[in-house]
Structure 1
């Protein structure tokens, strides 16, 4: 607090430097004139001291008003985004012009935010409608494929690719929902083993198709989370593991040391060390994405954002050419359980 007041005082002196110099100059002229008229030195010093004292009083009063206005403006910084009507009253024409400029900028900002929100809302509505509509032809294609008398190898490949399309469509829908203010997160106590098995069953066909071994250990752990969103996160991690693992295995287990940390580990191509700090950024694909053109740069970003809203955390360890280990910590802050 003392440092803050001292800094404000220094800024005030810089702002009032011209007035102070004029006051000192006039005091010197007044003293010299009195001295040249053979007035006693004591009278000159006394008059100079009175002028200096009165000047300091006025300076102190002016600084007090200045300091109060600075404190008020700093308190206003938290509410100025809502309204600019509570700005302090202008004391002169210059302050009035500055206040008018601030109000004008605030009004323009509010209009731009409203226009952006309306445009964003329109885009979300459009893409949400598109996602729901595209599910119809996808479902029809799957029914047609299932009605074939002789599936064959090509039909199996088509089934796998159709599954990937479904997952990308689902990712778009979850991306839109995760950014919506109306998204509901229902926190309850769940058996983590049940949640993970849902995701594993969904990707069982890809495990078989790519001949990837699954090393699954029972997860005897109860966690406070949202089932729907946690399943989606685990599906994204499994999808990445299967996408970048051509041979080997994917291991799913709980980390030791008593923490509620789920580990999903693969023996895939791994991630370069220079890419690791940015894997959770939106749109970042890294070396693997640029090389194989398989990455969207959205999956891990969504996982990070969803888990943060659920008060969970996620971290990744990886070594290029050896594999990747993803840790999801389900420790939560104190919340109300439904």
Structure 2
């Protein structure tokens, strides 16, 4: 009802000059009759004949405009495609002009989108090549460290591992825009996804003497293994990085959720609402100048695409917990 009233109000404003013109003509006719002392019955007849005709034409025009208005609303609400331009009304000169303008804009947007996709593809290919090339000297450096006897041998190997992790993160960040095209959904055992990640980060657990409590034997879900692994790596590695002593717990909460909990330094209460924002590092990030503020942001973006909800809770001195939850359709008991 409110929309209809708004439409009628707008229509009256659009045709206010035509309405005023009609009133002006009636005024001129009235003055003419008065000055020439013509019989008022003829004036009344003119009004009786003209008003229904003008009012009827106005109603027809309102009906036509209402039909076009509803049609344009339907076009605006559905997913826009170039073919939708063929459905635009083109009965008047202005409508044709607007349709041609939209066609021109649509073609321009299409060209810009295509150029952007090409640039994104070239950028990903370039960084993929660069990443491959940089990994070659890193692998050589790793081999050199293995044959060297040095008290800092483990520390050096761990730093090389971190560089490789950041390289992988960079490539995944570039691929995020089109990650839906890369998804392969299938039923996964969470334990089988997590254990390779734990083995991957084993040197860091050993270096910090951290315990691991793993209780996810019966958790299954339908997801993409590669992208889910990326999220888990980010959360687990953050837990290791910010935990000096204690343990990391990965435990199922319900058939449709599990928790990753550490006993690290925790996050300030005022930082928690913003930890998933792009580039936000909080107090921990400002203390640790190496933080990028991308890990949790990427994890949240990917989790949303996978249909997984991430909920972070934390308290300074008591560690951080990240709850993974999904609906029943994405799981199998």
Q: TM-score range by the shorter chain?
A: 0.7 to 0.9
* In 2, Cα distance between equivalents of 1:153 and 1:51: 104
- Alignment partner of 1:329 out of 325, 328, 331: 325
* In 2, Cα distance between equivalents of 1:81 and 1:276: 40
Partner of 1:291: 287
Q: Report SS of the residue matched to 1:281.
A: coil
CA contact (8 A) 2:262 2:319 kept: yes
The count of residues paired between Structure 1 and Structure 2 equals 330
Are residues 1:60 and 2:56 paired? no
Partner of 1:111: 111
Partner of 2:158: 160
CA contact (8 A) 2:82 2:106 kept: no
Which structure 1 segments of 5+ residues have no match? none
Which structure 2 segments of 5+ residues have no match? none
* In 1, Cα distance between equivalents of 2:45 and 2:144: 107
Cα 1:254/1:182, change in 2 over 3 Å: closer
Deviations 1:251-270 (A, max 9, x none): 22111xx3421101112222
Ranges of 4+ aligned residues in structure 1 off by more than 6 Å? none
* In 2, Cα distance between equivalents of 1:33 and 1:25: 12
CA contact (8 A) 2:262 2:321 kept: yes
CA contact (8 A) 2:242 2:265 kept: yes
* In 2, Cα distance between equivalents of 1:49 and 1:250: 89
CA contact (8 A) 1:261 1:330 kept: yes
Are residues 1:217 and 2:218 paired? no
* In 2, Cα distance between equivalents of 1:121 and 1:221: 36
CA contact (8 A) 1:35 1:44 kept: no
Partner of 1:175: 173
Are residues 1:17 and 2:13 paired? no
Out of 13-22 and 267-276, give the one that drifted further.
Answer: 267-276
Partner of 2:270: 274
Q: TM-score, normalised by structure 2?
A: 0.88
Report deviation, 1:85.
4.6
* In 1, Cα distance between equivalents of 2:27 and 2:139: 94
1:87-236 equivalences in 2 (<5 Å): 87-89=88-90, 91-92=92-93, 94-148=94-148, 150=149, 152-180=150-178, 183-236=181-234
Q: TM-score, normalised by structure 1?
A: 0.87
Q: RMSD over aligned Cα, in angstroms?
A: 2.6
- Alignment partner of 2:313 out of 296, 317, 331: 317
Q: Report SS of the residue matched to 1:180.
A: helix
Cα 1:249/1:182, change in 2 over 3 Å: closer
Cα 1:262/1:67, change in 2 over 3 Å: same
Q: Report SS of the residue matched to 1:309.
A: helix
Q: Which has the higher helix share?
A: 2
Q: Report SS of the residue matched to 1:318.
A: strand
